[in-house]
């Protein structure tokens, strides 16, 4: 099996439009959550979201292309451009069939669905846009990115709800491991702060109703958590075969060494409270990477700020690490970004890379009242220095999808 390293990272998020700004915001404990501005949310139970407020697609797309390119694809293009530039990969000097693209998205373009349905109902089927289908389907992010950068290797989309971005990275890792690609551009993107998106999650009773205090609404592992805060964004990563990266003198940000995936096979939206399948995903990643449970590990939790998820993930970590669980620094950046759904696994993977490089654990903000059933070290409210050598990123999605990615400090 080939070794796989990280050479590029790109972020579009509610707390920063680049990897540097994103990391600075995490360490400041900055919240990207506020009142919804993309539509009138007056009648919705949850009126808050993590919006990407300073995003201008006209800086890299023409006016015509903006109209034909949905927001979730625009995010992926922007983050991909940053990741490729940071990697220093010269795409003109590499066989395009040796570079693939896998991008996850949980939902695709609900905005297109809403707009075109309105057109259908008010103006009839002949007025539907010929771009409707290409704009709404989830695989278009991977397709657009490949077209823009001329990448002709393996290309597909992972759709596993909130685990989509993590699965995209994991499957890209496998492609390089098995010698099917020299490099992969991978990650996740999501943009469904829309009437249907927010309304649907409200109907599920999944969203926080702390509308009068949005910056403190997302509170993973806190006893007073009342649901997640929907958000949007993208995270893109350049993974590369180690020998290829070394030969071209690339800067390496970490080594992806383990990937585990399981399914709860329990319930379509609720996690298995025992955490057995989530535990098995973590164990698989640890085993593949030859990492012991007593090593210096940081866990970036899925940590959604829902009662069921946070309790189950805490149990899963205890299942795996036993007495060592109390000594492991854990955090959930969703306390600041909100839940970016299909993009979350990729954005949080980048967080793990940054934590390893800087030897700093980002905080779980808004942690005020401990929950007796969530009794581990969640790095409350302030970042802390920690000489961690391994980082684990957990992603858990509706349908029972579990994915764990393990990054080692590069040596």
265 and 337 in a single domain? The answer is: yes
Maximal C-alpha separation, the chain:
64
153 and 85 in a single domain? The answer is: yes
Q: Please indicate, yes or no, if residue 254 is contained in any of the structural domains.
A: no
Q: Is 302 one of the catalytic residues?
A: yes
pLDDT confidence of residue 84: 98
Q: Please indicate, yes or no, if residue 405 is contained in any of the structural domains.
A: no
Q: Could you tell me if 179 and 131 are in contact, meaning their C-beta atoms sit under 8 angstroms apart?
A: no
Give the span between the Cα atoms of 172 and 151, in whole angstroms: 14
Q: What is the pLDDT of residues 272-283, one digit of tens each?
A: 999 999 999 999
Task: Name the domain boundary from 180, 213, 247.
Answer: 247
Task: Name the domain boundary from 191, 219, 247.
Answer: 247
107 and 230 in a single domain? The answer is: yes
Task: Name the domain boundary from 207, 225, 247.
Answer: 247
232 and 284 in a single domain? The answer is: no
Q: Please indicate, yes or no, if residue 154 is contained in any of the structural domains.
A: yes
23 and 77 in a single domain? The answer is: yes
Give the count of domains, the chain.
2
pLDDT confidence of residue 361: 98
Q: Please indicate, yes or no, if residue 96 is contained in any of the structural domains.
A: yes
194 and 263 in a single domain? The answer is: no
Q: Please indicate, yes or no, if residue 272 is contained in any of the structural domains.
A: yes
Say which residue the tokens 């959550």 belong to: 33
Say which residue the tokens 């939790």 belong to: 301
90 and 217 in a single domain? The answer is: yes
Q: What is the CA radius of gyration of the chain?
A: 20
C-alpha torsion 90→93→97→99, nearest 10? -20
- Considering the candidates 162, 186, 192, 374, report the single residue annotated as catalytic: 162
State the sign of the Cα–Cα–Cα–Cα dihedral 101, 68, 189, 55: positive
List Cβ neighbours of 391 (8 Å cut-off, separation of 6 or more). 254, 297, 298, 299, 300, 352, 353, 355, 356, 406, 407
| CATH code at position 330 | 3.40.47.10
Q: What is the pLDDT of residues 231-256, one digit of tens each?
A: 999 999 999 999 999 999 999 999 99
- Considering the candidates 144, 167, 339, 401, report the single residue annotated as catalytic: 339
- Considering the candidates 144, 167, 244, 302, report the single residue annotated as catalytic: 302
Q: What is the pLDDT of residues 35-80, one digit of tens each?
A: 999 999 999 999 999 999 989 999 999 999 999 999 999 999 999 9
Q: Please indicate, yes or no, if residue 170 is contained in any of the structural domains.
A: yes
Strands 4-12 and 33-35 turn out to be unpaired
174 and 267 in a single domain? The answer is: no
Buried b (16+ CB within 10 A) or exposed e, 24-59: ebbeebbbbbbebebeebeebbbbbbbbbeebebee
Q: What is the pLDDT of residues 70-127, one digit of tens each?
A: 999 999 999 999 999 999 999 999 999 999 999 999 999 999 999 999 999 999 999 9
339 and 379 in a single domain? The answer is: yes
pLDDT confidence of residue 21: 98
Q: Please indicate, yes or no, if residue 387 is contained in any of the structural domains.
A: yes
Q: Please indicate, yes or no, if residue 409 is contained in any of the structural domains.
A: no
| Mean confidence (pLDDT) of the chain | 97
What percentage of the chain has pLDDT greater than the value 70?
100
Q: Could you tell me if 138 and 75 are in contact, meaning their C-beta atoms sit under 8 angstroms apart?
A: no
Q: Please, which pLDDT band fits residue 221 given cuts at 50, 70 and 90? A: very high
Q: Could you tell me if 187 and 343 are in contact, meaning their C-beta atoms sit under 8 angstroms apart?
A: yes
Residue 274 burial (10 A CB sphere; 0-12, 13-18, 19+): middle
Q: Is 192 one of the catalytic residues?
A: no
217 and 340 in a single domain? The answer is: no
Q: Please, which pLDDT band fits residue 411 given cuts at 50, 70 and 90? A: confident
88 and 194 in a single domain? The answer is: yes
194 and 338 in a single domain? The answer is: no
Q: What is the pLDDT of residues 367-384, one digit of tens each?
A: 999 999 999 999 999 999
Q: Could you tell me the residue range of the domain that residue 376 belongs to?
A: 259-400
Give the span between the Cα atoms of 304 and 283, in whole angstroms: 21
């Amino acid at each position: 099996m080939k070794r796989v390293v990280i050479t590029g990272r790109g972020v579009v998020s509610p707390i920063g439009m680049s990897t540097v700004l994103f990391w600075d915001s995490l360490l400041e404990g900055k919240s990207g959550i506020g009142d919804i501005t993309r539509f009138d949310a007056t009648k919705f139970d949850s009126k808050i979201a993590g919006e990407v407020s300073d995003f201008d697609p006209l800086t890299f797309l023409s006016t015509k292309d903006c109209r034909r390119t949905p927001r979730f694809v625009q995010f992926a293009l922007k983050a991909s451009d940053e990741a490729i530039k940071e990697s220093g990969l010269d795409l003109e000097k590499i066989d395009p069939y040796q570079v693939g693209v896998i991008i996850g998205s949980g939902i695709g373009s609900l905005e297109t669905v809403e707009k075109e349905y309105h057109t259908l109902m008010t103006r009839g089927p002949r007025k539907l846009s010929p771009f409707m289908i290409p704009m709404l389907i989830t695989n278009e992010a991977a397709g657009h990115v490949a077209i823009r950068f001329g990448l002709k290797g393996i290309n597909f989309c992972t759709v596993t709800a909130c685990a989509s971005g993590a699965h995209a990275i994991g499957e890209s890792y496998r492609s390089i491991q098995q010698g099917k690609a020299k490099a992969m551009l991978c990650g996740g993107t999501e943009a469904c702060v829309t009437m249907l998106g927010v309304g649907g999650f409200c109907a599920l009773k999944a969203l926080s109703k702390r509308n009068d205090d949005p910056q403190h609404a997302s509170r993973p592992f806190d006893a007073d958590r009342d649901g997640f805060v929907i958000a949007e964004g993208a995270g893109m990563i350049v993974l590369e075969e180690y020998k290829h990266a070394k030969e071209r003198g690339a800067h390496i940000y970490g080594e992806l060494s383990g990937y585990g995936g399981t399914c709860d096979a329990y319930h379509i939206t609720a996690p298995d409270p025992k955490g057995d399948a989530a535990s098995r995903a973590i164990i698989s990643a640890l085993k593949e990477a030859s990492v012991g449970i007593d090593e210096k590990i940081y866990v970036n939790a899925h940590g959604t700020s829902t009662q069921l998820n946070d309790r189950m993930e805490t149990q899963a970590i205890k299942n795996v690490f036993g007495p060592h669980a109390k000594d492991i620094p854990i955090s959930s950046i969703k306390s600041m970004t909100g839940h970016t759904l299909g993009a979350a696994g990729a954005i949080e993977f980048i967080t793990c890379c940054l934590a390893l490089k800087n030897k700093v654990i980002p905080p779980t903000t808004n942690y005020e009242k401990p929950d007796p059933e969530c009794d581990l070290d969640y790095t409350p409210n302030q970042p802390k220095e920690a000489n961690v050598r391994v980082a684990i990123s957990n992603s858990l999605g509706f349908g029972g999808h579990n994915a764990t990615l393990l990054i080692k400090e590069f040596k």
